[in-house]
Structure 1
């Protein structure tokens, strides 16, 4: 078992750790926090209670919040919001299936990590500083 300093050390400045957190947050938001109704009605033509756009915007907002909270950067959450809408809309229009959809979402998470690394902000991710 790793000691406390060994367990915290890899978190500092680690793009892989941030990617892992973002990926976990993604799967929580996409499968755990998305209701069955939202999953269906966010697609055009399958909306019965609200216009499909509202379901899609709300679903993507959950992802935006997760990215913002995990990274501490609202601008990344806003970028996530927009791209998540575009990616899910493509899946709803049957341009690709679930596998490509998930790959595109995870590619976005990798892009957020690259942007954090390039901007020198990876060390500012608040979860990396917990216990450090």
Structure 2
């Protein structure tokens, strides 16, 4: 039984937000925070690996919360692209966080409309 089917859309969004906070703060650490940005990474390989590892941590959170590997894969791509844009200076911290939470809201909508089974 998923969080959505048991407690509804708001509970699912809350669970996604909690998973996001865990992945972005205690599970990120100084190494990933530094190396996931091309401007502060020690090299191209380190940057790509760190950015992808960080996005994978988030992907795992979405998969665990939703039970959907498809949403986990979508999160991997979306999180990678959003953090890439922030790292390139396209937008700041607040916009970055709003974009991430907008993705989570989109996942809840997709689940509640039956577009994705969770």
Q: What is the TM-score with the length of structure 2 in the denominator?
A: 0.89
Asked if 1 retains the 8 angstrom alpha-carbon contact of 2:63 and 2:69, the reply is: yes
Tell me what 1:43 maps to.
37
Tell me what 1:92 maps to.
87
Does the alignment pair 1:80 with 2:72? no
1:11 Cα offset (Å): 6.8
* Unaligned ranges ≥5, structure 2: none
1:44-96 CA-partner distances (Å, limit 9, x unpaired): 13212752011000000000001001111110000000000000000000111
Asked if 1 retains the 8 angstrom alpha-carbon contact of 2:17 and 2:101, the reply is: yes
Asked if 2 retains the 8 angstrom alpha-carbon contact of 1:11 and 1:17, the reply is: no
Alignment of 1:1-132 (within 5 A): 12=6, 14-48=8-42, 50-119=45-114, 125=118
Asked if 1 retains the 8 angstrom alpha-carbon contact of 2:39 and 2:87, the reply is: no
In 2, Cα distance between equivalents of 1:19 and 1:120 = 16
Aligned alpha-carbon RMSD (Å):
1.9
* Unaligned ranges ≥5, structure 1: 1-9, 126-132
Greater Cα radius of gyration, structure 1 or 2: 1
In 1, Cα distance between equivalents of 2:9 and 2:115 = 11
In 1, Cα distance between equivalents of 2:17 and 2:93 = 16
Q: What is the TM-score with the length of structure 1 in the denominator?
A: 0.80
In 2, Cα distance between equivalents of 1:25 and 1:44 = 25
